[in-house]
Amino acid sequence: MRKVFYGSMMFIAILLLQHQEGVSAMQGKTIFYQLTYQTENVTGQIAINGFVVTEIEGKSGNGTAVLNTWLIGENELKAEVMKADSSKPAELIFGVSVMEQGDIVSTTDTGKLFSLELKDKDFSARGKASAAKKFKSTLDFKQHLSEAGQTKESDVLVYAQKVYTLIAKKDAEGILRESEVRINDYSKAFGGVDMKTELRRFLNEELFKAKLNKLNPVVLRAVAVGPNKNIWHVSNGKDELIKAISTDGSTFQMSVYIGLLDGKLKIIR
């Protein structure tokens, strides 16, 4: 069975928290804004401030996602779904809980801060439904997620190829320089964890030892997302910009979001 690791930076940050009790003791426990959801016969997505944080694939089940790095102080969580099988009932329950490091996370929670429910009767004749809720957070990254400058897709794609080349050349320091905004924001989002050191380790000891998928400029795409559609999510066909397969069959997919800050394109997430 193959394991797939998406959003490697988030994965690294959460692992770090499990091993850095000293940071918690000095600065107080890290706060998590946790999405939980339960699904029955629906397909679609849940987004925070215009950034998709989970894709729902039609099967019944439940799941969670950490929202910390996508928060902008005044937030909106939105689900847009449709029935996977139009002949069967559908339901979606989703919400947000504010938790501290060490709290037990249950995928059956419906959200302690708030919870929304889409019942079968809420789906239209075409099988579609949506629900949204605004909420406030103490974490606020709007300077980078909402207030980035406007730029063109063509410029973003040129920069994305530069990022891919740095990975292909196994230039860890180059990636760290381009990821400075992301590294600093992730460190703030998770209570001061040392993201730079750990990302360097991840690149050198894991990603660079894996087989990197080839970049295909023909299918390289950038989609404007976020609260003001000024952050660009780059994909290489159906895959994330960075995808690699390790010797044990594990697949790494690193999502890359690019924005214009202080006149320069940077990796924002």
Whether the Cβ atoms of residue 239 and residue 159 lie closer than 8 Å to each other: no
Whether the Cβ atoms of residue 199 and residue 12 lie closer than 8 Å to each other: yes
* 240 φ/ψ angles, rounded to the nearest 5 degrees: -65, 165
Q: Flag whether 207 is in a domain.
A: yes
Residue 157 corresponds to which amino acid? L
Domain shared by 131 and 191, yes or no: no
Q: Flag whether 18 is in a domain.
A: no
Q: Flag whether 10 is in a domain.
A: no
Strand partners, 45: 55, 80
Query: Rounded distance, CA 241 to CA 235, Å?
Result: 5
Average pLDDT of adjacent 10-residue blocks, the chain of 269 residues: 46 51 54 94 97 91 93 98 96 94 67 93 96 97 96 97 98 97 94 88 92 96 97 97 92 93 96
Domain shared by 158 and 124, yes or no: no
User: Could you tell me the CA-to-CA distances from 232 to 8, 33, 105, 256 in Å, in that order?
Assistant: 18, 23, 31, 8
Could you tell me the CATH number of the domain that includes residue 150?
Answer: 3.10.450
Domain shared by 186 and 96, yes or no: no
Which helix (H) or strand (E) covers residue 194, if one does?
A: none
Which helix (H) or strand (E) covers residue 50, if one does?
A: none
Domain shared by 125 and 170, yes or no: no
Domain boundary among 140, 161, 189: 140
Q: Which domain holds residue 234?
A: 144-267
Domain shared by 132 and 156, yes or no: no
Strands across the sheet containing 91-100: 61-66, 31-40, 91-100, 114-118
Residue 6 has a pLDDT of: 42
Domain shared by 36 and 136, yes or no: yes
Domain boundary among 83, 107, 140: 140
Nearest to 129 by CA among 118, 137, 145: 118
Q: How many CA atoms lie within 13 A of 190 on its CB side?
A: 26
- Total domain count, the chain: 2
User: How remote is the C-alpha of 15 from its chain's centroid?
Assistant: 16
Residue 167 has a pLDDT of: 97
In the numeric block, which tokens belong to residue 268?
Answer: 């924002």
Domain shared by 162 and 86, yes or no: no
Domain shared by 123 and 108, yes or no: yes
Q: Flag whether 80 is in a domain.
A: yes
Residue 5 has a pLDDT of: 41
Residue 22 has a pLDDT of: 43
Q: Flag whether 135 is in a domain.
A: yes
Q: Flag whether 22 is in a domain.
A: no
Domain boundary among 140, 164, 198: 140
Question: What is the pTM assigned to this prediction?
Answer: 0.89
Q: Flag whether 203 is in a domain.
A: yes
Q: Flag whether 21 is in a domain.
A: no
Query: Rounded distance, CA 83 to CA 87, Å?
Result: 9
Domain shared by 149 and 244, yes or no: yes
Domain shared by 244 and 152, yes or no: yes
Domain shared by 42 and 105, yes or no: yes
Nearest to 242 by CA among 227, 231, 258, 224: 258
Query: Rounded distance, CA 11 to CA 65, Å?
Result: 11
Domain shared by 177 and 115, yes or no: no
Alpha helices by DSSP H, 76-227: 142-145, 153-168, 172-178, 180-189, 195-205
Measure the CA dihedral 53/54/55/58, to 10°. -160
Task: Give the number of other Cβ atoms within 10 Å of residue 122's Cβ.
Answer: 15
